[in-house]
Amino acid sequence: MNKTQLRRYAKLLAKTGINVKKGQWVIVQAELDQPEFVEMVVEELYRAGAGKVSVEWSHQPLAQLHYKYQSEKSLSEMPKWELEKWELRKKELPAMLYLESSDPDGLKGIDQDKFTAVRSARGKIIKPYRDEMDNYYQWCIAAVPGKAWAKKVFPNLNVNQAVEKLWDAILSAARSDGPDPIREWARHNDEIAKRCDYLNRLGLVSLEYQSKNGTDLKVGLMEDAQFLGGGEESLKGAYFNANIPSEEIFISPKAGEAEGIVYSAKPLSYQGELIENFSVRFEGGKVVEVKAEKNVELLEKMISMDEGAKMLGECALIAYDSPINNSRILFYNTLFDENASCHLALGRGFTNCVRGYEHMTKEELDKKGVNDSIIHVDFMIGSKDLNIVGVTKNGLRIQIFKDGNWAF
């Protein structure tokens, strides 16, 4: 891979993704797949003004071993030093850069009952820290190729060719394959902002989804809800891009207001395994039935993590003719596949999708209808014939999507 282009990508993550501030602490979380690029991005973070950069490494095979040999009790415990780490993060609010590269099947065969129980137990301990930090710091999720992931996406190539091909696909999807990715993202953010402004002027109270695959779903929206997308601003006044790539415009629906059924358009990579060809049916705002051709038990465990896991936390709008979808590449990675076409998310909603959220308590936001959960799992529903209609308070019906793409 051209090192000049990788350097541009690293600079994009530092300046547009994180938008690191002078003297700021940045934590980079990465697997062991691309240490040279991690070194490059750390240098770009320092060049952009970071005062300290910490790298936290992980490795899927080690997770397999931990779950094989440790007890559920041992895995669920959080020792004092780990809690002190979260206390420090809550106090210092470091920017977070997550570099994804894991194998979509990397945890296949793991004891999923054990995995789910441990994740639930640890999630409940961590959640209060996350809640206090929410919206106060910059964060960005991006990706680099891992060998196993690359072979999953391009099975007919040898490992080196597959990694090179996946690098090309990542940079293209991230709008980082040209001479000035930072300028390209400024233009992209401006276009997304204009669409958000239009949608927010409509005063919608619900969204209705229909497609020929059987999707027929109505979702209620909160009063004072707002559509967001592209760059966002932290409560500390830092503008950043949470996802690179990102094509979505999203809103948090009202918890407990969803009726109907929705069918997946792409596989869902969850807990290191793939859930394929599935449907989710809602009554009274909650999931009452799930079906899947593969790993339905895993899907059932997901919606049982807590009460909020059965309700929607996000509705995201992405044109079917998006650059990622038009690449005809199935990434088996939610960061990319969710930005190929429309998706929904089960679990936690976004507090900043409510106007004036910064002046509200958590209890007030809960009352507004922001769903609360220890999970937030996106799944893709966009199809070539998906139609979405927005309904206003006065009953006016406005076409938002027609045949999979924006109607305006």
- pLDDT tens digits, one per residue of 114-147: 998 999 999 999 999 999 999 999 999 999 999 9
Q: What's the pLDDT at 85?
A: 97
H/E segment holding residue 184? helix 181-202
Residues 200-235 have pLDDT tens digits of 999 999 999 999 999 999 999 999 999 999 999 999
Mean pLDDT across the stretch 270-285?
A: 94
CA distance linking residue 244 with residue 168, whole number of Å: 14
Q: Does the pLDDT value for residue 272 go beyond 90?
A: no
Residue 275: strand pairing partners: 268
Where are the domains positioned within the chain?
3-173, 181-406
H/E segment holding residue 6? helix 3-12
Tokens 């099975």 belong to 155
Q: Are 296 and 277 in contact (CB under 8 A)?
A: no
Q: Is omega for the bond preceding 245 within 30 degrees of 0, making it cis? A: yes
DSSP per-residue string spanning 254-312: EEEEEEEEEE-SS-EEETTEEEEEEEEEEETTEEEEEEEEE-HHHHHHHTTSSGGGGSE
Q: What's the pLDDT at 64?
A: 95
Mean pLDDT across the stretch 301-328?
A: 96
Provide the pLDDT confidence category of residue 1 given band limits of 50, 70 and 90: confident
Q: What's the pLDDT at 63?
A: 94
Phi and psi torsions of 264, nearest 5° = -70, 150
Q: How large a percentage of the chain has pLDDT more than 70?
A: 100
Provide the pLDDT confidence category of residue 38 given band limits of 50, 70 and 90: very high
Question: What kind of fold does domain 3-173 have according to CATH?
Answer: Thermophilic metalloprotease-like (3.40.1830)
Residues across the chain: 408
Q: What is the mean pLDDT of the chain?
A: 96
Q: What's the pLDDT at 273?
A: 87
pTM above the 0.85 mark?
yes
CB atoms within 10 A of CB 109: 11
Q: What's the pLDDT at 29?
A: 98
Decide the pairing of beta strands 52-58 and 139-143. unpaired
Residues 99-121 have pLDDT tens digits of 999 999 999 899 989 998 999 99
**139 Cβ neighbours under 8 A, 6+ residues apart:** 18, 95, 96, 97, 98, 240, 242
Provide the pLDDT confidence category of residue 271 given band limits of 50, 70 and 90: confident
Tokens 């009202």 belong to 254
Question: Which residue, 97, 363, 134, 96, is CA-closest to 236?
Answer: 134
Q: Does the pLDDT value for residue 319 go beyond 90?
A: yes
CA distance linking residue 139 with residue 350, whole number of Å: 14
